[in-house]
């Protein structure tokens, strides 16, 4: 992008300079699979004189989803919220409270019919008329039902709002369900799962909707494809260790200290779709994401995995990511949908590989594979499937060998 392309934009976006903001929008555009030049279009959309209104409702939540936004930078979410969008109602962040907050919500909805973005965090209890979560004396279920049809787009942020999350875990005493289930099929909800979700996935989605006035491409679970089309296992920097058969077996053991694969500690990366290894988390520096810090992924964003599968259970290894198509798991085994190729693209950085033992490929093979993207993709796919088979067919023997 050249400076002349965006000179017509304001000098500053809140605390952020025009140049930095356009750069941020450019990176967001690339993250969404759009050309870098689209960054200017995105910046233009958010720089419009009338700030786009956002109404944020909360169901059964822990505030973590709001908290995750408050920890972003480049630009800070404070900038995004307070200077670029008009956050007309947010139960935690709004200055007014009580009747004044309710009045602000109603006024904004009335004045911006069809133009505001509705965000919901937290699951919605439907048991006993939804009495277990109320706002202003009314069940959130009712408020959501009456607000969503008037919105330009509805975004469910976090696993609770996307598929029920923690409140829906068995025995689910409040009848907690995701926003989509409350709203039915007529209204499509964009789900951005995660506990909490990556704030940049949320920011990118908001920017996309505001810029293009339509929803981004979604998968079968209504998750933006740009963020959820690949398994964590595909982009993980510990993947060469997995392929070479080098696993941490206990927290703090030699394998764990050396950055080996966390599969045998229960890592659910092989069955969780998310962009955590690429997008990273928390702006705390390099490799700041759960697996990068030595913690197995527990599948927080994946329905049927996070808060459902036992933490130490071994993940299934046979999920495919068809190009441009949602995956589908059917009885009798996973199936590809749409005939796309198995997508396994290695990451551009790797955890250190310095140990010669292992029962898979040799160190040299892995090092070469790491440098040759195409070769690595093929080798990784074959080894992953082989290891998956080993677990399924002779899991007990494999464990004994360790
Ligand atoms: Fe909290 Fe996680 Fe639910 Fe977000 S998804 S409200 S962080 S429990
Ligand atoms: Fe990474 Fe987990 Fe896959 Fe190992 S199992 S490569 S730690 S995502
Ligand atoms: Fe959640 Fe796993 Fe990413 S636990 S944050 S989906 S690495």
Task: Tell me if 124 CB under 6 Å of ligand 3.
Answer: no
CB atoms within 10 A of CB 44: 15
- Rounded Cα–Cα distance for residues 9 and 47 (Å): 7
Give the pLDDT confidence of 51-71 residue by residue, as tens digits: 778 889 999 999 999 888 776
Query: Which among 71, 66, 61, 74 is positioned nearest to 22, based on CA atoms?
Result: 74
In the prediction, which pLDDT does 221 show?
92
Please give the Cα distance from 26 to 23 (Å, whole number). Answer: 5
For a substitution probing ligand 3, which of 274, 296, 305, 306 has the most ligand atoms within 8 Å of its CB? 274
pLDDT confidence of residue 50: 72
Q: How far is the CA of 304 from the centre of ligand 3 (A)?
A: 14
193 lines ligand 1 (CB under 6 A): no
Residues of the chain with pLDDT under 50: 322-350, 352-402
What integer pLDDT is reported at residue 92 of this predicted model?
78
For residue 100, give both structure tokens: 């004044």
pLDDT of residue 31: 76
Q: Whose CA is nearest to atom 4 of ligand 2?
A: 261
| Pocket test residue of 243, 261, 266 for ligand 2, highest count of atoms within 8 A of CB | 261
**Phi, psi for 121 (deg, rounded to 5):** -115, 150
The number of the ligand 1 atom at minimal distance from the alpha carbon of 68 is 7
Ligand 3 contacts CB of residue 365 (under 6 A): no
pLDDT the model gives residue 278: 87
Give the three-class secondary structure for 130. helix
Q: Token pair for residue 160? A: 């609770």
Rounded to two decimals, the pTM is 0.77
Q: 226, 61 in Cβ contact below 8 A?
A: no
* pLDDT given at position 330: 39
């Amino acid at each position: 992008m050249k400076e002349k392309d965006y000179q017509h934009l304001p000098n500053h976006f809140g605390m952020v300079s025009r140049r930095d903001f356009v750069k941020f929008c450019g990176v967001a555009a690339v993250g969404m699979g759009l050309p870098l030049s689209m960054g200017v279009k995105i910046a233009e959309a958010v720089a419009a004189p009338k700030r786009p209104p956002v109404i944020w409702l909360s169901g059964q939540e822990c505030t973590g989803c709001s908290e995750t936004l408050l920890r972003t930078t480049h630009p800070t979410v404070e900038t995004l919220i307070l200077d670029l969008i008009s956050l007309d109602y947010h139960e935690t962040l709004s200055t007014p409270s009580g009747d004044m907050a309710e009045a602000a919500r109603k006024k904004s909805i009335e004045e911006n019919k069809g133009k505001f973005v509705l965000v919901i965090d937290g699951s919605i209890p439907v048991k006993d008329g939804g009495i277990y979560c109320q706002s202003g004396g009314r069940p959130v279920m009712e408020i959501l039902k009456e607000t969503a049809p008037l919105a330009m787009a509805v975004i469910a942020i976090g696993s609770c709002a996307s598929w029920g999350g923690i409140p829906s875990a068995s025995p689910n005493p409040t009848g907690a369900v995701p926003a989509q289930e409350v709203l039915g099929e007529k209204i499509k909800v964009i789900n951005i799962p995660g506990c909490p979700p990556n704030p940049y996935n949320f920011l990118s989605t908001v920017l996309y909707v505001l810029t293009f006035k339509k929803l981004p491409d979604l998968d079968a679970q209504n998750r933006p494809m740009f963020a959820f089309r690949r398994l964590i296992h595909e982009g993980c920097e510990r993947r060469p260790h997995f392929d070479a058969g080098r696993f941490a077996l206990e927290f703090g053991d030699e394998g764990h200290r050396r950055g080996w694969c966390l599969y045998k500690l229960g890592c659910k990366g092989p069955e969780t779709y998310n962009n955590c290894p690429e997008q990273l988390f928390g702006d705390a520096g390099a490799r700041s994401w759960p697996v990068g810090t030595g913690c197995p992924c527990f599948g927080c964003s994946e329905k049927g995995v996070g808060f459902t599968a036992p933490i130490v259970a071994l993940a299934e290894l046979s999920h495919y990511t068809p190009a441009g198509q949602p995956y589908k798991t059917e009885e009798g085994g996973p199936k590809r949908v749409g005939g796309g190729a198995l997508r396994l693209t290695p990451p551009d950085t790797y955890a250190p590989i310095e140990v010669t033992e292992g029962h898979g490929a040799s160190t040299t093979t892995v090092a070469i594979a790491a440098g040759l993207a195409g070769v690595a993709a093929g080798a990784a796919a074959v080894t992953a499937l082989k290891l998956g088979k080993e677990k399924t067919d002779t899991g007990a023997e494999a464990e004994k060998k360790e």
